[in-house]
């Protein structure tokens, strides 16, 4: 039990305290191998934080002795032998022979994962001992073991093979067999193109005049965005000098041009006009030298494109596409065609281009171009190409990670995750919410970042899966607040509160409402002053949305409705022009039977915010509620006007806006309003519209059915068609025996009867 407590200290990273207790314990229990093993583990961790190498070596020696104590008692203790082999190979220069012996025992054990560790440790000992052939043999054996160990995991296998090939290349490099070293570095690159050896290897390849290999590595360095700017600029200037000195190599020239697009001012200066002319000149010079390389046409075209000269750019893009359709050429050609012709081309090239990141980058470029486009129709028409670009990228990434096919150009998990996020957003914009959720989930599992969860939450929300949307956004607040921009921190609270309220989880919604408003008063309002105008305005918009959303958070108190009304009225004292607050008050005033206030709230909403930019359903609600309130006040003509306006707006919406349920409600209120105006025929007309809806859709009789039929009965009575009136009342009572207005009317009608005429005459 005592050692269990010490293991808890180790797991809690209290290594120094654990060591102190273990040393005392082992004085009385010197044969306890569990205690010695735990002591060795603690010392390994402490050594990692040592301030000097000498101090670290001293601690490692204690750890080594502890693991040796374990093995002296139990030679089969695998973990103690692994740790001792590691230290003998990497830390303790005088323990090489012991490390080799430990590795031999581990290799003989037959466990493939342990074999690869032991071969690596033994390789390191052979390097120190200058046993080159033995070192090479161990790495080649490692390749064979990895091939078996990761047979069903290509990404992991490629990483392992990269490490082996690189180590073999390093051995050949240090024994001055440069051609062999280069060959193995090339094999390593094929296995893992995104690696940490690119910078040194590209200079080696240039020195060895293997320009194709150098160009491939440069493309990764330029597009991946993981090379320090200073290093990449130095490399590009080195290539520039080589080209100016007379080197002719199309791919190196292409990568030089590709790289300068990210460092335009460093190569072409601060004068945009002069720089553009120089870029055009550079592009044309390379076109003359390499007329069969498409990128130089693209490069020249892009200089024209970036200054808005689309007509001059288009012929160059068309030439580029005819030779080799680079993804970035496709998007600029597509947009330039739109700017010249007034419409997008009917199709685009489906290029056989196999670098997934370049397809993704083209999608980003196109998204940035379209974002600046002011034509809303054009923005919508651009979605298919955006989807195509991101799907092309996704379809190259996915097989590598999930089907063990494809190349290591798809081997960057963060790039894949970013592709998933953008692809999922486009799917969401096209209404493919379920597929968007699937893609976002793949991306988040590949490389988690908060944007992926926020995008997935949007898709869940649009699918009506509010629980899932809340969960995603809560994860963001729990795990990503250190990297979450303040603007999103506030908006995510607003969206969670909205969904909690819709789900009637009012207590949680109120807690979050009070929390975020307290934080706004406490620190958000102060911190936001340091932000750009757009971010500040967005935060204020969401804070106001949170405050107006209080309208729908029910507390269950006796004065709940009045409290919610008061909260919004208080907010309007501070923000008298908040049109959303008036919109929400419209609901509350109506529920509280404050019909004049309801009409006033609607009028304020219209006068302050207008309605043209509102969604169709919100426009409908404005006139619908004002019409209902007018009807309650007996202002029948006003009610009719608003209900007819509601129908007109509804007819311009989609199927959900123009749904039978929505139309039924308006028809029923129109029937009632026309009855109040004594326009009985029109009242019956809308009553029949309601009745026909029930028949056509096979709806069961319900309270609404009794209500509109009662209105019809009164309209018949107004027309003095007592027979139809009585039949309608009888129909209501037969289907809804507890509908009191019909029962009362039936009793009233009984006062007439067959001889009522004679009684009246008498």
pLDDT in tens, 416-431: 999 999 999 999 999 9
pTM over 0.75: yes
C-alpha distances out from residue 595 to 194, 587, 591, Å: 67, 10, 9
pLDDT tens for 161-206 read: 999 999 999 999 999 999 999 999 999 999 999 999 999 999 999 9
Give the pLDDT of residue 756: 42
Tokens standing for residue 518: 């307290």
Taking CA 433 as the corner, what is the angle to CA 444 and CA 327, rounded to the nearest 5 degrees?
Answer: 70
Asked whether residue 675 carries a pLDDT value surpassing 60, the answer given is yes
- Nearest CA among 179, 175, 150, 152 for reference residue 164: 150
Q: How confident is the model at residue 745 (pLDDT cuts 50, 70, 90)?
A: very high
* 450 and 476 Cβ atoms separated by less than 8 Å: yes
| Residues 272, 278, 281, 286, CA torsion sign | negative
pLDDT tens for 72-90 read: 999 999 999 999 999 999 9
Asked whether residue 716 carries a pLDDT value surpassing 50, the answer given is yes
Asked whether residue 629 carries a pLDDT value surpassing 60, the answer given is yes
Interval 609-629 mean pLDDT: 90
C-alpha distances out from residue 598 to 2, 365, 551, 582, 591, Å: 72, 48, 14, 9, 9
* 351 and 320 Cβ atoms separated by less than 8 Å: no
Give the pLDDT of residue 263: 95
Interval 467-482 mean pLDDT: 97
Q: How confident is the model at residue 755 (pLDDT cuts 50, 70, 90)?
A: very low
Asked whether residue 591 carries a pLDDT value surpassing 70, the answer given is yes
Q: How confident is the model at residue 248 (pLDDT cuts 50, 70, 90)?
A: very high
Mean pLDDT of the chain: 94
pLDDT tens for 260-276 read: 999 999 999 999 999 99
Asked whether residue 258 carries a pLDDT value surpassing 50, the answer given is yes
Q: How confident is the model at residue 751 (pLDDT cuts 50, 70, 90)?
A: low
What is the chain's alpha carbon radius of gyration, rounded to the nearest angstrom? 38
CA dist., res. 620 & res. 626, Å (int):
10
Q: What is the DSSP string of 116-178?
A: HHHHHHHHHHHHHTT-HHHHHHHHHHHHHHHHHHTTT-HHHHHHHHHHHHHHHHHHHHHTT-H
CA dist., res. 710 & res. 732, Å (int):
7
Interval 560-566 mean pLDDT: 94
Q: What secondary structure letter does DSSP report for 577?
A: T
For the chain, the domains span 675-750
Reported for 651-660, long-range contacts at CB under 8 A and 24+ positions apart, including other chains, are: 652/616, 653/616, 653/617, 653/620, 654/616, 656/617, 657/616, 657/617, 657/620, 660/693, 660/697
Q: At what angle do helices 112-128 and 78-90 cross, to 10 degrees?
A: 20
* 586 and 620 Cβ atoms separated by less than 8 Å: no
Tokens standing for residue 435: 């597929």
Tokens standing for residue 259: 């790289």
Q: How confident is the model at residue 613 (pLDDT cuts 50, 70, 90)?
A: confident
* 25 and 37 Cβ atoms separated by less than 8 Å: no
Asked whether residue 761 carries a pLDDT value surpassing 50, the answer given is no
pLDDT tens for 145-162 read: 999 999 999 999 999 999
* 35 and 3 Cβ atoms separated by less than 8 Å: yes
Asked whether residue 757 carries a pLDDT value surpassing 70, the answer given is no
CA dist., res. 464 & res. 305, Å (int):
43
CA dist., res. 431 & res. 561, Å (int):
36
pLDDT tens for 309-355 read: 999 999 999 999 999 999 999 999 999 999 999 999 999 999 999 99
Interval 375-379 mean pLDDT: 91
Q: At what angle do helices 579-591 and 560-574 cross, to 10 degrees?
A: 160
Interval 681-707 mean pLDDT: 95
Give the pLDDT of residue 231: 97
pLDDT-wise least confident of 19-28, 126-135, 468-477 = 19-28
Q: At what angle do helices 78-90 and 96-108 cross, to 10 degrees?
A: 140
Please state the three-class secondary structure of 355-381 as a single string. Answer: CHHHHHHHHHHHHHHHHCCCCHHHHHH
Give the pLDDT of residue 722: 94
Interval 233-256 mean pLDDT: 97
Q: How confident is the model at residue 655 (pLDDT cuts 50, 70, 90)?
A: confident
Question: What are the b/e assignments for 567-606, b being 16+ CB within 10 Å?
Answer: bbeebbeeeeebbbbbbbbbbbbbeeebbebbbbbbebbb
């Amino acid at each position: 039990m005592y050692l269990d407590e010490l293991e808890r200290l180790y797991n809690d990273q209290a290594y120094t305290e654990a060591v102190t207790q273990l040393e005392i314990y082992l004085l009385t229990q010197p044969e306890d191998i569990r205690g010695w093993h735990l002591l060795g583990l603690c010392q390994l961790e402490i050594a990692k934080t040592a301030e000097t190498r000498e101090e670290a070596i001293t601690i490692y020696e204690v750890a080594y002795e502890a693991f040796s104590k374990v093995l002296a008692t139990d030679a089969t203790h695998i973990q103690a032998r692994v740790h001792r082999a590691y230290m003998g190979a990497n830390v303790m220069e005088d323990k090489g022979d012991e490390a080799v012996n430990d590795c031999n025992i581990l290799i003989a054990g037959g466990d493939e994962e342990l074999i690869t560790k032991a071969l690596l440790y033994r390789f390191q000992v052979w390097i120190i001992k200058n046993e080159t052939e033995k070192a090479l043999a161990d790495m080649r054996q490692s390749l064979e073991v990895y091939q078996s160990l990761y047979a069903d995991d290509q990404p992991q296998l490629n990483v392992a093979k990269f490490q082996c090939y690189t180590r073999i290349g390093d051995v050949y490099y240090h024994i001055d067999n440069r051609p062999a070293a280069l060959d193995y570095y090339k094999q390593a690159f094929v296995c893992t193109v995104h690696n940490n050896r690119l910078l040194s290897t590209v200079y080696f390849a240039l020195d060895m005049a293997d320009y194709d290999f150098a160009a491939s590595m440069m493309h990764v360095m330029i597009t991946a965005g993981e090379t320090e700017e200073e290093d990449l600029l130095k490399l590009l200037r080195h290539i520039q000098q080589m080209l100016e000195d007379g080197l002719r190599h199309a791919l190196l020239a292409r990568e030089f041009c590709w790289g300068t697009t990210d460092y335009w001012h460093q190569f072409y200066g601060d004068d945009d006009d002069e720089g553009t002319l120089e870029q055009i000149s550079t592009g044309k010079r390379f076109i003359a030298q390499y007329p069969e390389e498409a990128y130089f046409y693209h490069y020249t075209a892009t200089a024209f494109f970036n200054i808005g000269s689309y007509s001059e750019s288009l012929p160059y893009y068309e030439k580029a596409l005819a030779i080799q359709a680079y993804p970035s050429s496709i998007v600029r050609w597509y947009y330039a065609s739109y700017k010249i012709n007034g419409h997008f081309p009917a199709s685009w090239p489906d290029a056989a281009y196999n670098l997934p990141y370049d397809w993704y980058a083209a999608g980003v470029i196109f998204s940035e171009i379209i974002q600046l486009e002011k034509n809303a129709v054009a923005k919508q028409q651009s979605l298919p190409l955006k989807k195509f670009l991101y799907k092309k990228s996704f379809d190259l990434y996915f097989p590598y990670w999930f089907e063990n096919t494809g190349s290591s150009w798809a081997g960057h998990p963060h790039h894949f995750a970013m592709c998933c996020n953008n692809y999922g957003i486009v799917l969401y914009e096209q209404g493919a919410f379920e597929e968007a959720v699937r893609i976002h989930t793949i991306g988040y599992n590949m490389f988690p970042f908060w944007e992926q969860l926020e995008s997935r939450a949007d898709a869940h929300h649009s699918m009506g899966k509010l629980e899932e949307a809340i969960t995603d956004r809560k994860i963001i607040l729990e795990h990503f607040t250190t990297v979450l921009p303040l603007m999103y921190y506030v908006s995510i609270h607003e969206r969670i509160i909205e969904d909690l309220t819709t789900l009637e989880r009012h207590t949680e919604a109120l807690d979050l409402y009070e929390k975020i408003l307290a934080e706004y008063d406490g620190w958000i309002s102060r911190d936001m002053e340091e932000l750009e105008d757009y971010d500040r305005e967005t935060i204020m918009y969401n804070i106001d949305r949170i405050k107006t959303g209080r309208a729908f958070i029910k507390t269950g108190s006796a004065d709940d409705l009045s409290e919610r009304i008061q909260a919004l009225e208080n907010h309007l004292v501070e923000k008298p022009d908040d049109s959303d607050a008036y919109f929400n008050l419209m609901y509350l005033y109506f529920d509280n039977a404050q019909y004049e206030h309801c009409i006033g709230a609607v009028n304020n909403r219209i006068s302050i915010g207008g309605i043209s930019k509102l969604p169709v359903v919100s426009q409908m609600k404005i006139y619908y509620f004002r019409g209902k309130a007018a009807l309650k006040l007996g202002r029948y003509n006003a009610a009719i006007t608003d209900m007819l306006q509601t129908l007109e707006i509804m007819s311009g919406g989609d199927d959900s806006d123009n749904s039978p349920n929505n139309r039924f409600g308006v028809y029923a209120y129109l029937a009632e309003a026309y009855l109040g105006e004594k326009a009985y025929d029109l009242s019956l007309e809308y009553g029949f519209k309601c009745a026909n809806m029930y028949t056509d859709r096979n709806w069961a009789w319900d309270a609404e059915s009794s209500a509109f039929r009662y209105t019809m009965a009164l309209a018949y009575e107004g027309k003095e068609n007592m027979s139809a009136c009585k039949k309608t009342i009888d129909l209501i009572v037969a289907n809804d025996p507890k509908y009191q207005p019909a029962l009362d009317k039936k009793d009233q009608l009984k006062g007439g009867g067959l001889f009522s005429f004679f009684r009246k005459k008498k």
